[in-house]
Amino acid sequence: MNSIVLTLIGLAIILAGYLLYSKFIGGKLYRLHDANVTPAHEFQDGVDFVPTNKYVLWGHHFTSVAGAAPIVGPAVAVIWGWAPAFLWVTLGTVFFAGMHDLGALWASIRNKGQSIGTLSGRYIGNRGRNLFLVVIFLLLLMVNAAFATVISNLLVSQPTSVIPVWGAIVVALLIGQAIYKFKWNLVVVSIVGVVALYALILVGDRFPISLPDTIMGMSAGAFWVLILFVYAGIASLLPVWMLLQPRDYINGLQLFIGLGLLYGAILLSNPTIVAPAYNNNLPPDTPSIVPLLFVTIACGAISGFHGMVASGTSSKQLDKETDARFVGYFGAVGEGLLALGTIIAVTAGFESLASWEETYSAFNQGGVVAFVQAGGSILNSGIGLPESLSATVLATMAVLFAATTMDTGVRLQRYVVEEIGGLMKFKVNTVVATIIVLVCGMGLAFGADITGSGAGGMVIWPLFGTTNQLMAALTLAIITVMLVRLRRTILPVVIPLVFVLVMTVYALIVQLGQFYAAGNWLLVVLDIIILVASIWVIFESAMAIGKARKEGPDLTDDPQLAEEHSGAQRR
C-alpha cells in the first residue's frame, strides 16, 4: 500500500469532519451562541476560572487529552492489520470523538463549569453520580500511575530527551509571565517559545543525561517516577495560567510541528507500508479483533478521559461559547492526526514484512518504543534528520504528550477527591486532596510492583481501555439526556453511545475470561466491578432518558427555546 495515498485519505476524512460535521453539531445540535456568558467570566478567580484565548486553550486541551495513549493504542492495534486501525481512527475521530469532546465541553459550560461527575447527579441521578465518581477515580489512577511509568521508561531509554523535557517547564513558566503579566504579543511569544523548545532538543541530543543505576536505594526508573509525581502535585496546585496552560500551549505548538515533520517525511520519502491490511498471520496470544480493537484504540477514536478534561479544566477557561468548537472538536482532530501518524509510522517504518513481524511477535509488543524507532527511521529517510536526533524528537514528543496529560490528570483527580469529600459533608483542603492523590498514585506505582521499579501502574493498565470507554459512554448518556430535555435530535449521540457500550461490555467479558485463565485475581475483581458498572450505566441511562422524554422541555440553558415556548404560550 502506498503510504502517501493512505495519509492523504486519512487527512481528508478527519479535516472534512472538522470543516463540515463539527459545524452541524455545533450549530444545530448544541447551538453554541456567544450571547451566553461562559463560566470563565461568570466565576473568574485567576486560579481555575480564567478567560483564555482560544488558541492557547486549544493547546492546553489538545496536549492534556493527547497523552501516550493515542500512540500506544494504535501502535499495538496494527497487529490486526493497518486497515481496521485506520478506519476506526478516522471515522471514530469524525463521528465519535469530536462529537463527544465538544458535547462534554458544551454540557459543562451550560452548567456553570461543573464536571461530568457532578452533572451526572443532575441528569442521571445520585446512583449514576456515585458510579461516575468511582469510574473517574479509577481511570485517573490508571492514567497517572501508568503515564509516570511510560515517561520514566522513555527518560531512561532515551537520555537525550531529559534536557528538553524538563527544560520545557522553565520555558512554560516564562511564557505564562509573558502572556498574562507583561501582556506581550502572543505570536511573538509563541515563536520564541517554540524556538526555545527545539533548541533544547538540539542541546539534549548533544548532551544526554543518564542517571546512575541506583539512587537513594531506588533504580533510575523508580527515581524518575517519584520526581514526576512530586512535580505533578506541585503543578496541580499552581494557578492554571502560571504553568499548566502555557506549558500545554507551547507543547501543543511544538508537538503539532513534530507531527508536521512526521507527515512531511512520509510525503517526501513515501515509505512502503509493509504491514498487511488485514493480518492473517497473528501470533498465538492475540485476542479477537472484535471487540478488542475498539478498546485498544480508545484515545485517537473516542476517549472518556477527554470528557473529564473538557468539563474539568477546559470549560473553566473558555472565553466565548463558540470557541468550544475549535477547542473541543479540533482538539479531538489533533489527537486523531497523532493516531493516524502513528499508524503510518509503525506500518511503514520497517524495512520488510519480516522485520515488522519480528517486532509484532506478540500482542502488546508494539507501543511507544516501536513508534519512536519506526518514526525515527522515516524522519531520517524523509527529511535527512540524523537517526539519533530523529529518535530524540519523537521521544521528546511522546514524553511531553504523556507529561501534560499527567499534569492535568493529577489536578482532575484532586477535584474528584474534593467532590467526594463534599458529598460526605466533609470539606477537603486543596493541599490535602493533592496529597491523597499523590499517595494513591505512588502507592499503586510502587506497591503493586515487586521489582521496585515504580511500574506498578502497568499492573491494572490492561483495564484502561474498557474503563476509558465506559467513561465515554457515561458522558454520552448525560449529553443524550440534556438533548432530550431540550427536544433536539439525539441520533448523532445515541448511535455512538450504543456502539461504545456494546463493545465495552463485550470486551469486559472477553478480558474476564483471559484474566481468569491467567489466575490474575486482581484484574478479575476489577473487571467484574467495571462490568457491573457498565450494566448499571445502561439501566440508569435508559431510566433517565425515559424520564426526560416525559418531562416538559428544559428552558434553563437555551434562550432561543425559552423565547419560542413563551411565544407559543402568548398565542
- Could you tell me the pLDDT band of residue 453, with boundaries at 50, 70 and 90? low
- Average pLDDT of the chain is 87
Q: Are 99 and 304 in contact (CB under 8 A)?
A: no
Which pLDDT band, with edges at 50, 70 and 90, does 454 fall under?
low
Would residue 343 count as lying in a domain? yes
Confidence of residue 538 (pLDDT cuts 50, 70, 90): confident
pLDDT exceeds 50 at position 242: yes
pLDDT > 60? residue 564: no
The DSSP bridge partners found for residue 52 are 318
CA gap 295, 312 in Å, rounded = 23
pLDDT in tens, 280-332: 989 888 889 999 999 999 888 999 989 989 998 899 999 999 999 999 999 99
Q: How confident is the model at residue 431 (pLDDT cuts 50, 70, 90)?
A: very high
The pLDDT-based confidence of 568 (bands split at 50, 70, 90) is: very low
CATH number of the domain that residue 98 is part of: 1.20.1740.10
User: Is the predicted pLDDT of residue 90 greater than 90, yes or no?
Assistant: yes
Res 562: pLDDT: 54
C-alpha R_g of the chain: 23
560 within some domain: no
Least confident window among 208-217, 248-257, 318-327: 248-257
Q: Provide the domain limits for residue 524.
A: 3-472+490-533
| Position 568 in a domain | no
CA dihedral for 467, 468, 473, 476, sign (positive or negative): positive
- Is residue 236 in a domain? yes
Does residue 181 surpass a pLDDT of 50?
A: yes
Phi, psi of 347 (to 5 degrees): -115, -20
Task: Please report the pLDDT score of residue 20 as a whole number.
Answer: 96
569 lies in some domain: no
Task: Give the closest residue to 112 by CA, choosing from 49, 47, 32, 53.
Answer: 49
Give the angle subtended at the CA of 37 by the CAs of 31 and 39, to the nearest 5°. 105
Q: What is the mean pLDDT of residues 9-16?
A: 96
Model confidence pLDDT, tens digit, residues 411-425: 889 988 988 888 788
Residue 102 falls within a domain, yes or no? yes
**What pLDDT, on a 0 to 100 scale, did the predictor assign at position 458?**
74
Nearest to 491 by CA among 479, 502, 503, 501: 479
β partners of residue 219: 214
Per-residue pLDDT, 552 = 65
User: Kindly report the CA angle at 175 between 336 and 56, in degrees rounded to 5?
Assistant: 35
Beta-ladder partners of 215: 218
pLDDT surpassing 70 at residue 554: no
C-alpha 186: how far from chain center: 26
Going by the DSSP 8-state scheme, the letter that residue 553 receives in this structure is P
For residue 38, the model assigns a pLDDT of 95
Separation CA 241–CA 247 (nearest Å):
9
Closest of 392, 302, 319, 266 to residue 52, by C-alpha: 319
| Other beta carbons less than 10 A from residue 499's beta carbon | 18
In a domain, 86, yes or no: yes
Percent of the chain residues past pLDDT 90, beyond the cut: 43
Q: Rounded to an integer, what distance in angstroms lies between the CA atom of residue 206 and that of residue 226?
A: 26
Evaluate whether 378 touches 348 at the Cβ level (below 8 Å).
yes
Average pLDDT, integer, range 192-219: 90
The reported pLDDT for the residue numbered 570 is 47
- Report which of 295, 293, 299 is spatially closest to residue 68, judged by C-alpha positions: 299
pLDDT at 70: 86
User: Which H or E run includes 214?
Assistant: strand 214-215
Mean pLDDT across 471-494: 92
Q: Count how many Cα atoms sit within 13 Å of the Cα of residue 186 in the half-sphere of its side chain.
A: 12
Most confident of 8-22, 153-167, 360-374, 538-552: 8-22
Asked if 173 and 246 touch (Cβ cutoff 8 Å), the reply is: yes
Q: What is the pLDDT of residue 571?
A: 44
- Max mean pLDDT among 210-214, 503-507, 521-525 falls in 503-507
Q: What is the pLDDT of residues 25-43, one digit of tens each?
A: 999 999 999 999 999 999 9
Percent of the chain with pLDDT over 70: 95
Among the residue ranges 51-55, 408-412, 501-505, the one predicted with the least confidence is 408-412
Residue 147: which of 75, 74, 205, 224 has the closest Cα? 224
Cβ atoms of 325 and 103 closer than 8 Å: no
Contacts of residue 181, Cβ cutoff 8 Å, sequence gap at least 6 = none
Average pLDDT over residues 362-376: 78
Residue type at 252 in one-letter notation: G
Residue 86, SS3 per DSSP: helix
The widest CA-to-CA distance across the chain, in whole angstroms, is 80
Does residue 521 sit in helix, strand or coil?
helix
pTM: 0.85
Q: What is the total count of domains within the chain?
A: 1
What single string gives the DSSP state of each residue in 296-336? HS-TTT--HHHHHHHHHTGGGTBSSTTHHIIIIIHHHHHHH
> Is 211 exposed, middle or buried (CB count within 10 Å of its CB: 0-12, 13-18, 19+)?
middle
Q: What is the mean pLDDT of residues 208-222?
A: 88
Q: What is the C-alpha separation between 426 and 405, in angstroms, rounded? A: 29
pLDDT > 60? residue 559: no
Whether residue 338 is contained in a domain is answered as: yes
User: Residue 114: pLDDT above 50?
Assistant: yes
pLDDT tier at 556, thresholds 50, 70, 90: low
Name all contacts of 238-242 with Cβ < 8 Å and 24+ positions apart: 239/46, 239/47, 239/48, 239/50, 240/47, 240/48, 240/50, 240/60, 240/313, 240/316, 240/317, 241/46, 241/50, 241/52, 241/176, 241/179, 241/180, 242/173, 242/176
* Three-state helix/strand/coil letters over 241-294: CCCHHHHHHHHHHHHHHHHHHHHHHHHHHCCECCCCCCCCCCCCCCCCHHHHHH
Give the pLDDT mean for 62-90: 89
Nearest CA-CA partner of 162 in 370, 400, 369, 390 = 400
pLDDT digits (tens, 9 = 90+) for 156-178: 888 988 999 899 999 999 999 99
Give residue-wise pLDDT tens across range 350-362: 888 998 888 888 8
214 - beta bridge partners? Answer: 219
More confident residue, 244 or 469: 469
What's the pLDDT score for residue 92?
96
- Residue count (the chain): 571
406 pLDDT band, cuts 50/70/90, is confident
